[in-house]
Amino acid sequence: MNKETIIGIIGSGAMGSGIAQVAATAGHQVILFDVDLNLLAESENKFKTNLEKLVDKGKITFETAREIIGRISLGDSFASISKCGLIIEAIVEKLDVKQAVFAGLEKNTSADCIIASNTSSLSITSIASSCKIPSRIIGIHFFNPATLMPLVEIIPGLETDPKILLETKSLIDSWGKTTVVAKDSPGFIVNRVARSFYGESIRIYEEGIADFATIDWAMKNFGGFKMGPFELMDFIGNDVNYLVTDTVWHQFFYEPRFKPSLTQKRLYEAKHFGRKSGKGFYDYSEGAILPEPTKDETLGIKIFYRVLAMLINEAADSLYLKLATREDIDTAMMKGVNYPKGLLKWADEIGVSVVYEKLEKLFDKYGEDRYRPCVLLKKMALEGKSFY
């Protein structure tokens, strides 16, 4: 694949339109398709607004913006994507709908066209199972907003041809994105490892150790995270965040580390989605005063190390189970969710044995499987080793 490769994007929603803009900016002709013709037409306005902003900021010239828009055309049927060399699907997150779309795409493309899914939570292998040539199906997982977030997870399914993996990775690299390769496992890297940031913070709140504002303050102040877990859940949306947790938990056969919380489920049921609905963990209505944290240093440090230890345990387990390389696990969390440091590097800085002891203490205190230290962490702590 090269700049001449025509890129097809199926689904012109938040992700599809962002990915279309990224591909067109990289110099490709792009064909965007959606079943909803009104939404498809609206995406043209989205491109114009986005690119106008870049022109106003002086990041691109007016001429470049015009060229980028000129490279995107709107398709009115699957037939319009028959000349594409790569198709990225970004439609609704439902397995049966995606499988039907993939079967249809296969019929309308040449045998050497790579067909990818931007799914966040479905298995690439299960999507590929509806196809006649599963070796050309792959996951290309962008982060929202695709135009701004540098990370892209590349996920080969069980039957993906290794050559297709290399070709896909090098193309997305050429778009200026940072790619990492992840096994076809629930949540891939980011949506799996990040679960503890939310889950352990909610657990700390549920135990009455601290309130939302104090936990957010602790993670920002001592950890250097840009947003605290509760601010971030409200920003992502408690509907989206809760459903991702629930899906990851189910797909891991009810692994206790990923267990969703009743606290967030209740917010989801009450439609307290966060910023977009005006209320979530915090109240965003006009005139509402955000609560002040209790800036108790001893408490703050304790909260931060507990959440960090859980995050590192998940990163270590991902490495142990060969989900990805240590570099890719660290890169994914920094470029996909803006963590200030890679978690495995962070473990080395604090000391692997310190993290291990923290987890052992939690495991001993609660007797719950979610706190069991990963076997790799334990081995490394006992042998005095570090990740790098």
Q: Is 150 in the site for ligand NAI (CB under 6 A)?
A: no
Q: Is 36 in the site for ligand NAI (CB under 6 A)?
A: yes
Give 152's strand partners.
142, 179
Q: Is 172 in the site for ligand NAI (CB under 6 A)?
A: no
List, in sequence order, the alpha helices (H) in 37-175: 37-56, 62-70, 95-107, 124-128, 162-174
According to CB under 6 A, which one of 9, 20, 24, 101 is a site residue for ligand NAI? Answer: 101
Span interacting with ligand NAI, options 47-55, 138-146, 178-186, 195-203, rule CB under 6 A? 138-146
Rounded-to-integer distance, Cα 309 and Cα 138, Å: 33
According to CB under 6 A, which one of 5, 21, 50, 119 is a site residue for ligand NAI? Answer: 119
Q: Is 16 in the site for ligand NAI (CB under 6 A)?
A: yes
Q: Is 11 in the site for ligand NAI (CB under 6 A)?
A: yes
Q: Is 93 in the site for ligand NAI (CB under 6 A)?
A: yes
Q: Is 90 in the site for ligand NAI (CB under 6 A)?
A: yes
Answer whether 53's CB lies under 8 Å from 145's CB: no
How many CB atoms neighbour CB 228 within 10 A? 24
| Counts of helices then strands in the chain (DSSP H, E) | 17, 8
DSSP string for residues in 14-52: HHHHHHHHHHHHTT--EEEE-S-HHHHHHHHHHHHHHHH
DSSP symbol at 145: S
The C-alpha R_g of the chain, in whole angstroms, comes to 22
Q: Is 120 in the site for ligand NAI (CB under 6 A)?
A: yes
**List of residues 6+ apart from 372 with CB closer than 8 A:** 359, 363
Span interacting with ligand NAI, options 33-41, 174-182, 197-205, 280-288, rule CB under 6 A? 33-41
Answer whether 324's CB lies under 8 Å from 332's CB: yes
Q: Which is nearer to ligand NAI, 237 or 291 (CB)?
A: 237
Answer whether 71's CB lies under 8 Å from 30's CB: yes
The site that binds ligand NAI (CB under 6 A) totals a number of residues, namely 23
Span interacting with ligand NAI, options 142-150, 203-211, 219-227, 250-258, rule CB under 6 A? 142-150
Q: Which is nearer to ligand NAI, 102 or 356 (CB)?
A: 102
Q: How far apart are the two ends of the chain, measured CA to CA in Å?
A: 34
According to CB under 6 A, which one of 2, 144, 170, 294 is a site residue for ligand NAI? Answer: 144
- On the CB side of 387, how many CA atoms lie within 13 Å of its CA? 30
Q: Is 12 in the site for ligand NAI (CB under 6 A)?
A: yes
Find the shortest distance in angstroms from Cβ 129 to ligand NAI: 17
Q: Which is nearer to ligand NAI, 138 or 355 (CB)?
A: 138
Q: Provide the annotated active-site residues.
A: 120, 141, 153, 191
According to CB under 6 A, which one of 2, 37, 52, 97 is a site residue for ligand NAI? Answer: 97
State the residues that interact with ligand NAI by CB under 6 A: 10-16, 34-36, 39, 90-93, 97, 101, 118-120, 142-144
